[in-house]
């Protein structure tokens, strides 16, 4: 069942990330990083070379936190996430961050995994976020 979802909707277990060109909004690349059983070095290699002003869209599926180490959490903090520090097993998380911005991102939601509040048999309710992400002007030079 899950593999059918992954194929149909281009998502996978862990963090689903889309990189966008901040000037035009063009989709540059999408990747999935398995934060349950995967290697976080691939995530680090993907995020380290980001250019300043590059928006990063992140949505979790299943588990986003088990293998998320301090270094990868720090990279998301540099993209101005405030929730990534507390992200835990099977929390739902969605986030849009930008490298080089000074203030925290206004585009972030987290739903904690809690037996007392979960909506679906052992799972927190899903998140939805509608927003307009501003484009940036081209760099001069």
Q: Find the mean pLDDT for residues 111-124.
A: 72
**Least confident segment among 55-59, 75-79, 103-107:** 103-107
Are 96 and 47 spatial neighbours (Cβ–Cβ below 8 Å)? no
Strand ranges for the chain from DSSP E? 14-20, 27-33, 55-61, 92-98, 108-111
Q: Write down the pTM of the prediction.
A: 0.84
Q: Are 63 and 35 in contact (CB under 8 A)?
A: yes
d(CA 103, CA 67): 27
Residue 66 has pLDDT above 70, yes or no: yes
User: Would you tell me how many other CB atoms lie within 10 Å of the CB of residue 71?
Assistant: 13
Q: How confident is the model at residue 1 (pLDDT cuts 50, 70, 90)?
A: very low
Class of residue 38 by CB neighbours under 10 A (exposed 0-12, middle 13-18, buried 19+)? middle
pLDDT bracket for residue 137 (50, 70, 90)? confident
The average pLDDT across 83-106 equals 90
Q: What is the predicted pLDDT for the residue at 4? A: 52
Confidence of residue 2 (pLDDT cuts 50, 70, 90): very low
* 82 half-sphere exposure, CB direction, 13 A CA radius: 8
Q: What is the pLDDT of residues 20-29, one digit of tens each?
A: 998 898 889 9
Residue 78 or residue 137, greater confidence: 78
pLDDT of residue 13: 87
Whole-number pLDDT of residue 79: 95
pLDDT of residue 3: 47
At 87 the three-state DSSP class reads coil
């Amino acid at each position: 069942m899950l593999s059918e979802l992954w194929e149909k909707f281009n998502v996978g277990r862990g963090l689903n990330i889309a990189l966008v060109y901040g000037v035009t909004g063009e989709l540059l690349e999408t990747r999935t990083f398995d934060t349950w059983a995967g290697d976080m070095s691939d995530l680090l290699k993907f995020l380290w070379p980001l250019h300043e002003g590059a928006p990063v869209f992140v949505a979790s599926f299943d588990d986003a936190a088990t293998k998320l180490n301090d270094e990868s959490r720090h990279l998301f903090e540099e993209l101005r996430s405030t929730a990534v520090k507390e992200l835990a097993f099977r929390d739902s998380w969605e986030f849009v961050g930008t490298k080089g911005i000074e203030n925290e991102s206004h585009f972030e939601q987290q739903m904690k995994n809690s037996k007392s509040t979960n909506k679906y048999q052992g799972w927190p309710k899903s998140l939805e976020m509608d927003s307009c992400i501003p484009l940036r002007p081209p760099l001069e030079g």
